[in-house]
Structure 1
């Protein structure tokens, strides 16, 4: 999906939209992910003649957000990270990182709810992030030297991104990292750039079923407008210079 990358490029950022599954020759499922793939993409971006390799940012939404956090944690040189309705743990599929693997936070199928409109609500189905048994799934973002902007919606029906954001921001602040967090009442999971219509529910290609994303129309629209301003301000602050670049997940 290139719309956010294109808009960032229109503001002067050299931007790459990175597909990571179910695209051309990539794996059809999330189980084929490997951190080396994202490392190769980062190196490709660094080698571009118009990119300052010391000023690279990453932005990701949903699963892409925890991948962005993993990149900032285990790959060098990332200065700024934006997580949009993400999670502070690796989710859904183990992530090989060289000589070790980050386990994944899973979900319980029996906790998935079916709405009156035939949409599946996953908001209460994820395994407990605070359960000690899931501690190894946490991404040790406190190791990163990047700055972080954590955005979430209180009406997220995909998973509890607001609670995840609170936990992540608290952990980063505990380690005195540069982090700011913003949670939007009435906003759903798909916090897109401003003036894009609210997608309250849609067919999920990977799962093959209609998924509820949440969001109240007016509140979600206001959240998208404010979040976009904060993203631009954040990246301008931390990536400003002669050349800068960004990877969009």
Structure 2
């Protein structure tokens, strides 16, 4: 019997859409290896693999069959995608051109390794839904990209952000139906969201992901008001055995001493806030800062914001199934850990992306 690799949807799907992977035509209880790979736009190779055993009918369904080892273990239907890792150390999967898909090659090999190739398939992951328009914005010093979905904008745009994506920070301005604007920001982008929600009118909602409560990297200027950065204490930087920087305690506290003037005045904000944090974030104390922001807002009579904690998600909570490294460059080019655990990072977006 011919061995076939079945994908549903077949051929192509959006990156945040789950793909059902199944294999038919194997021998009863046959051991196999499922291997996934892709090359990014710079030619860098990323791979993941896991060992499986077919059932008594010679079938393998990743929604039911547990991985027996490899890049991941247990029942992980999308493991071949989120577990992708760079072939070269410290590589990072990025997608500068979101209008083209990422092609992922899937192969089923006989065990033990290196087994013969039994079957293969190719699946393309899109980042934009059909009909989405992308327009570059050049206005003064603003450099941005505007994404417009087809037809009338829905109340909440899940897979396509409609609005400006600032290139300097991972900050998203999402269009919502009505007079208001929603914000979503990660890390320093979250600090900008807090500032915008504090100073600008018409901001109705803000989602803050693993942010501090003050400007960490540079001052924030608005109509004569300046929020200077709190700065960092370089003496607090620790270097791990493998050369990574431990910076969780480097940022000066925006709530203590003379730096308190740098605290972003969230009490002015009229927005509804949602904080997504990882208690294991190794960039700064994201959960602590989120809770302090909640106290400040409630002291001013505002509605209590929601704080959702995802242990092990890491500093970046990105779209579902997208693999990310556990580090990023900072502090003069030295890399630091993001604090993620592979499974925690994979599970958090499934809930957050709702």
Q: TM-score, normalised by structure 2?
A: 0.52
Alpha-carbon displacement from aligned partner over 1:8-49 (angstroms, at most 9, x marks no partner)? 85646523211237xxxxxxxxxxxxxxxx9xx98xx99xxx
Aligned residues: 203
Residue of 100, 114, 120 corresponding to 2:239: 114
Alpha-carbon displacement from aligned partner over 1:56-115 (angstroms, at most 9, x marks no partner)? 111110000010110111111111101000012222211121112112111111111111
Residue of 182, 188, 202 corresponding to 1:57: 182
CA distance in 2, matches of 1:72, 1:150: 14
Q: Aligned pair 1:69/2:228, yes or no?
A: no
For 2:168, the equivalent position in structure 1 comes to: 20
**Compared CA separation, residues 10 and 220, structure 1 to 2 (3 A):** closer
For 1:223, the equivalent position in structure 2 comes to: 348
Tell me the SS of whatever aligns to 1:154.
coil
Q: Aligned pair 1:165/2:290, yes or no?
A: yes
Residue of 169, 176, 181 corresponding to 2:307: 181
**Compared CA separation, residues 109 and 12, structure 1 to 2 (3 A):** closer
Q: Aligned pair 1:96/2:218, yes or no?
A: no
Q: Offset of 1:190 from its aligned partner? A: 1.2
Q: Aligned pair 1:193/2:193, yes or no?
A: no
Consecutive unaligned residues of structure 2, counting only runs of 5 or more, are 1-95, 99-126, 130-155
What do you get for the CA RMSD once the two structures are aligned?
2.8
Q: Offset of 1:123 from its aligned partner? A: 0.6
Q: TM-score, normalised by structure 1?
A: 0.72
Tell me the SS of whatever aligns to 1:66.
helix
Query: Greater helix percent: which structure?
Result: 1
Contact 1:198-1:221 within 8 A present in 2 as well? no
CA distance in 1, matches of 2:284, 2:290: 11
CA distance in 1, matches of 2:206, 2:297: 13
CA distance in 2, matches of 1:2, 1:75: 31
- Higher relative contact order structure (alpha carbons within 8 Å, sequence separation ≥ 6): 1
Greater Cα radius of gyration, structure 1 or 2? 2
Tell me the SS of whatever aligns to 2:353.
helix
**Compared CA separation, residues 77 and 88, structure 1 to 2 (3 A):** same
